[in-house]
Every structure is written in structure tokens, then in C-alpha cells.
Amino acid sequence: MTKKADHLFISYAGEDWVFAEWLARKLASEGYAVWFDRLKLLGGESYPKDIDYAIKKRTFRLLALLSRSSIDKPNPRKERTLALNIAREEEIDFLIPLNVDGLSATELDWMTNDLTFIPFHRSWHQGLQQLQKKLNSIEAPKTLEDGRQRSLQSYEPKVKLNEEGEQLISNICPIVSLPSQVYKYTLRKSLSRLDKSELQSRWAYVSRGSRGRGHKELLAFQLPPVDFDMALIANRDVYSLDRKRLDGMPTNHVISALLHKSIRNEFLRLGCKETSDARVLYFPAGILKQNRIEFRNYTGRNTYVFATGTRKYTRQGEATTYYYHLCPVIRIRQDLSQSFMLQLGTRLHIADSHGDPLPPRSALSRRKRIAKSWFNHQWLSRFLAIRSFLARGSDNIVIDDRMGDTPIVVGPMLQSAIPVGIGELSEQDEDSIDVTDNEFDEDKEGADDESYVD
């Protein structure tokens, strides 16, 4: 039997997925069979594997979501081109363009700049009304009798529960010990910008001062570095942390800032570096043997991950090498409990051969390329590796560099066993997603940087 062309095919760019999902659900709830790759329940059948055939033979109309993101994307452009060719051959308005973000006529390509658009950038509701009016005028088939139910089902998570239980591991570590007092150092003169920059990498302090007079007051858990010019200090006071405010500032804000700077400086002391703007902390090449961070993972296995590596990017036949570095991300939180917590995350720093960061757009695309197959296992492994690096393989992270009394101690991450597990890989298995495991047994041979070169 010849199948009818009774589907609406939504062509879009990934950046517009929120609007595209909303539109797909709205159309399905009205009874239209919709082909939309993120919601596979909204068509009258499974999402097609052969997109060209589906558009040519099974699609009633193609809805092209035009935006500044989609206008130059290869796949949406290919789908629009095919739809325009069908429109010319069959002499119908096969392509229905939707203006998502107010794209002007001068920003359109030559294929679409003379088409009449349905505007959605002013109001999604009004745009939907105009689209429904258009679909009614061309007698678009409504073949989904259970469209509303399908739309509701599309919100349900595609995971399977099991009764085997799971171990939940967070990236939150309680700070189990911190100094009971803060030193206040009053300086005879303000530090120069150069001295201040150099000192901040070795001494965790919060600076204070009045407007126009510079920062002459420093609050710190620690004593100054041994090479600090003590003649600069005019006075030293000691404050207890059991008071609500310290020198006019909320005490919890001072503690949070000092904890953050102390942990950051510990990373620097162990060999990590910062970008020139001090916004990104990262692992440089060479501070670890074979650039590996060794650790014990959540199954108790001794393993390692690479702290840095190289990749190649090829454009127009020319290959360039870029470097990626693991970056510790430090956040001090008190909103989870009355106590202070360290939330330790990780990200990637993308740089050129000179160590300079790539432009944001280039860095983003390369970062996505590296981490596109990283799921819970990969991200958790890197968090555990970074934490193990900071703790030097111990259970606790101890920072006692010239503390006045009690050192800063960060305990193990919060974790808990639960009786019900979530089968997160069920949908990935269904779609045959290949998850790359960039983690190795300690005795596995042949694991080197070349295995990471694209």
C-alpha cells in the first residue's frame, strides 16, 4: 500500500529546540502527525531513518524554523533546499517558513528571502494561530486521534526504574573544620597592583579599604608568607568567628571568600595555573607524570584520567592542533545546610599551542566535540580525580599552610545508597549511542595521548 503524505516535518537548529518542542507538542495536541527528532512519540509512527525519503514521500508540509542560528546550519539548509525543490516541481507551497527570532529580510539567503513568513518572534500564541489558519486553508490532515495524550506522554522521562538500588554520589564535600579566628592586618600603605597580584597567589586574604585610600586592611585565616615585608604591617587584630559581622562585613561572606581563595591557592601551590585574567584555573601540561591524574574510582578500582591532551581540527584540508586542560571549578555553598560546603566541579579549558585560550566560539565547538560522549561516568570520574589530586590521595583535603590555629579540612563527598535505581542508559542503548570511556585500569597497556587524537 502506498503511504500518504500526512506528516508535518519540523526543520530547526539545535539552538531553537525549546521553541521547536513547544510547537511540536502544540501541533500534535491538535491532531497533526508531527515528525520532530527530539520527541519521537508525536508522529503517527516511528521517526524516519531516511530523512530525504520522509520529506519527499511522507511529508505534507515542511515547517522551517528560520533564525539566526538555523540560517547557515548545513542540515536545516539542506532540508529547506529539498523542500523548495519539491515546491517547484509540484507547484505548491510545500515549505512553510516560521520566523523565530525576528530575522530580517537582509539576513536571509537567496532561496528564502522572497517567501511569506509566519512571525513567532512577537508572540508564540499569535504565531500559532496564524499557522493553524494556514494549515486549515490547505486542508492539512489530522490523523492523530490521541494527539493530546501523545503530547502529555512526551513529557514522561524515558528511563526505567529497577529495584537493584544505586549509590548516589554528589560533588558536594562538607567542610568539617576551619579556623576559629580571623586575622586583621592594617598596612602602612596600599599594595601596588603588581604586589597585590603576586601576593594573592600565595596568601588567601580579603582586602578592605575606604574609597580613594586603597586597600590597607587585610582579613585572613593564615599568617603572611615568610618573605612578606612585616614592616608594612602597622597593626594586627584577631577576630573570633562567632560574631555576625567582621569589620563591617557579614562573617559568613568573609569565611566563604577565604575558603574559596584558600582552596584555589592550594591548587596553585600543587602546580595548577590560571589564565591571564585569573578567571580559569587549569591543569597545565607537565605537572603530572604522563599528564595523568591517578585516583580510585567509585567502584574501588585504581585508574586515571588525562589532565590535558591534544586534538586536531581540520578545516578546508588544513589541520591545526589545539590543547584541552581539565579545570577545577570551586564554589563555596552554605545554602545546603548551616555548615559550609565545597562544591567541586570541572570544565575544559581550550587553548592553542602557546597556551592562549581560543576565541569563545571556537573554544565552545571544540569543547563540545571532546565532551559530546561524556555522561555521568565520565564527569564523575574527573571530579573524583580532581578531588583526589587536591587531597593527595587521602580521604580528607587538609589545608594548613601557616594557619593560626585549626586547619581547613574538607571531608569526603556526600553520598547515599537508595533502594531504587534509574536505568539512565535505556534510551542511549535504544539509539546505539557509543559512550567513550576515557578512563583506564592502572595496569592496562597502550593507553597514551595518541588514543585521544581525532
Greater pLDDT, 362 or 429: 362
Least confident of 158-162, 231-235, 239-243: 158-162
Residue 338: is its pLDDT beyond 80? Answer: no
Q: What is the pLDDT of residue 268?
A: 94
Greater pLDDT, 161 or 274: 274
Instruction: State the pLDDT confidence band at 135, using cuts at 50, 70 and 90.
Output: very high
Q: What is the pLDDT of residue 157?
A: 67
Greater pLDDT, 117 or 403: 117
Residue 212: is its pLDDT beyond 80? Answer: no
User: 364: Cβ–Cβ under 8 A, 6 or more apart, which residues?
Assistant: none
Q: What is the pLDDT of residue 353?
A: 77
Distances, alpha carbon 54 to alpha carbons 62, 82, 86, 138, 348, in Å? 11, 11, 12, 20, 39
Q: Tens digits of per-residue pLDDT, 15-31?
A: 899 999 999 999 999 99
According to DSSP, residue 104 is labeled -
Q: What is the pLDDT of residue 208?
A: 75
Instruction: State the pLDDT confidence band at 432, using cuts at 50, 70 and 90.
Output: very low
Q: What percent of the chain has pLDDT over 90?
A: 50
Residue 309: is its pLDDT beyond 70? Answer: yes
Residue 412: is its pLDDT beyond 90? Answer: yes
Residue 70: is its pLDDT beyond 60? Answer: yes
CB 258 within 8 A of CB 206: yes
According to DSSP, residue 243 is labeled S
Q: What is the pLDDT of residue 438?
A: 44
End-to-end CA separation in angstroms for the chain? 46
Instruction: State the pLDDT confidence band at 307, using cuts at 50, 70 and 90.
Output: very high
Instruction: State the pLDDT confidence band at 328, using cuts at 50, 70 and 90.
Output: very high
Q: Tens digits of per-residue pLDDT, 170-203?
A: 999 999 999 989 999 999 888 887 788 788 888 9
Instruction: State the pLDDT confidence band at 159, using cuts at 50, 70 and 90.
Output: low
Neighbours of 178 (CB within 10 A): 20
From CA 45, how far away is CA 33, in angstroms rounded? 9
pTM greater than 0.85 (yes/no): no
Residue 1: is its pLDDT beyond 90? Answer: no
**CB neighbour burial string for 379-397, b if at least 16 within 10 angstroms, e if fewer:** ebbbbbbbbbbbbeeeeeb
- Average pLDDT over the chain reads 84
User: Parallel, antiparallel, or unpaired for β 166-169 and 205-208?
Assistant: unpaired
Alpha helix locations (H) across 16-123? 17-29, 51-53, 74-90
Cell of 432: 546505539
- Maximum average pLDDT range among 246-260, 308-322, 393-407: 246-260
Instruction: State the pLDDT confidence band at 214, using cuts at 50, 70 and 90.
Output: low
Cell 568573609 belongs to residue: 254
